[in-house]
Amino acid sequence: MLRRHAQVVIVGGGPVGMLLAAELAAYGVDVCVVESKPRTTDEPRAGTLHARTVQSLARRGLMEVEAGRAERAGHHREPFHFAGLPGLSITAPATEPPILVKCPQADLERQFEAVAQRRGATVLRDSQAVRIVQDPDGVEVTAKRPQGPEQVRAEYLIGADGARSTVRDLCGFVADTHPATVSALMGQVRLVDPAALPPGWQRTERGWTAAKFDAHGYGRLMTLDCRGPHPDRGSPLTVEELSREAERIVGHAVPLTEPTHLSRFNDFSRLVANYRQGRVFLAGDSAHVHFPVGGQGLNTGLLDALNLGWKLAHTLRGTAGKDLLDTYDQERRPPGQRVVDNTRAQLALMRPDPQLDSLRALMADLLPLPDVGAYLGDML
């Protein structure tokens, strides 16, 4: 068996794992990333970076964005939604970068990986972590690789391997969960008739559609069925099923073609009871998953990485005490809980029950109010 040593081993090479690798490597930490995929794929996932994430990445030189002019008074404002309801405005100081930046998750992953490797990080792709052993002095990760098993010994391990986290399961992290109650479909497709679907979030008495297509009909469609979870979550989605579901919701034909990516998801949520277990940490979806409304999952995970990276680096360099690592859970689990809670609250408002119409109307009146907008905008 091949053996290698590092100061930190990261299991999971998505944007959260690669950002952690880039951050740690910037401090001269010897870091090794173990990632199961042979390469980054362009399947559509999260694509919106929120204000605090953009600000943090820009400050670290990891995102080139144009900041506002210092002499310009006031704030940037961006329209947003809460539970699919328009009227919310998100603000940030005019001297800060843009509030919302559209950036595909795959592009972020590639960018962070390139930075991490340029700074000296090792990336082992096509490598599946299959065994983890923790002792008082470190952690050993055994990875299954095409050329045979390889063992990585490190002082600390970070699990950034997503919702189906091997690290979380192998290390026995306890979590609070809420079962799925809805079924949602997502497709990167071509809309044959542009008039068949209005853009943005649209609700009928049978569910929701969220559509964004260009002038040629290419784009993304999401449908939401609140009658219950899909009986076979793992069954392949077809463009025909997505078309039928959109037709059921809007009440007329929605012809779709040329699918490039199709997927199912739901509102299952999970939040681990502690983000740290000895020398093992969790970050991103391995620690928290929720209904993906508002694009908050990617941002929460990236902020996990930015919180943990410098703390772990200074601990390893001896410029901070080991107690600093305890603040990672103390500071990042509460935001994880708030995201789980606010996405569940949004979904409750989105259920197409006529008895909720008056509540939705009240929320629609409240969203434009400055104090309400500030509270919800800051939360997002």
Q: Which domain holds residue 210?
A: 183-265
Mean pLDDT, residues 33-54 taken together? 90
Check residue 233 and give its pLDDT: 84
For the stretch 210-231, pLDDT in tens is 999 999 999 999 999 999 999 8
Contact 286, 159 (CB under 8 A): yes
Check residue 42 and give its pLDDT: 83
CATH number of the domain within which 243 lies = 3.30.70.2450
**For the chain, percent of residues with pLDDT exceeding 90:** 83
Please tell me which residue, 232 or 356, carries the higher pLDDT value.
356
**Of 265, 285, 312, which one is at a domain's C-terminal end?**
265
Using only the alpha carbons of the chain, give its radius of gyration: 22
Beta-carbon count within 10 A of 6 CB: 22
Q: Report yes or no on 204 lying in a domain.
A: yes
Average pLDDT, the chain: 94
My answer on whether 122 and 242 are in the same domain is no
Residue 222, beta-bridge partner list:
186, 210
Apex CA 308: angle with CA 92 and CA 108, to 5°?
Answer: 60
- Number of independent structural domains in the chain: 2
Say which residue the tokens 């800051």 belong to.
378
My answer on whether 30 and 108 are in the same domain is yes
Q: Any residues with CB less than 8 A from the CB of 322 and at least 6 apart, and which?
A: 315
Residue 157, beta-bridge partner list:
9, 280
My answer on whether 288 and 346 are in the same domain is yes
For the stretch 301-310, pLDDT in tens is 999 999 999 9
**Of 234, 265, 296, which one is at a domain's C-terminal end?**
265
For the stretch 142-194, pLDDT in tens is 999 999 999 999 999 999 999 999 999 999 999 999 999 999 999 999 999 98
Mean pLDDT, residues 196-213 taken together? 95
Q: Report yes or no on 62 lying in a domain.
A: no
My answer on whether 126 and 161 are in the same domain is yes
**Of 242, 265, 288, which one is at a domain's C-terminal end?**
265
**For the chain, percent of residues with pLDDT exceeding 70:** 98
Confidence band for 72, pLDDT divided at 50, 70 and 90:
very low
My answer on whether 108 and 131 are in the same domain is yes
CATH number of the domain within which 329 lies = 3.50.50.60
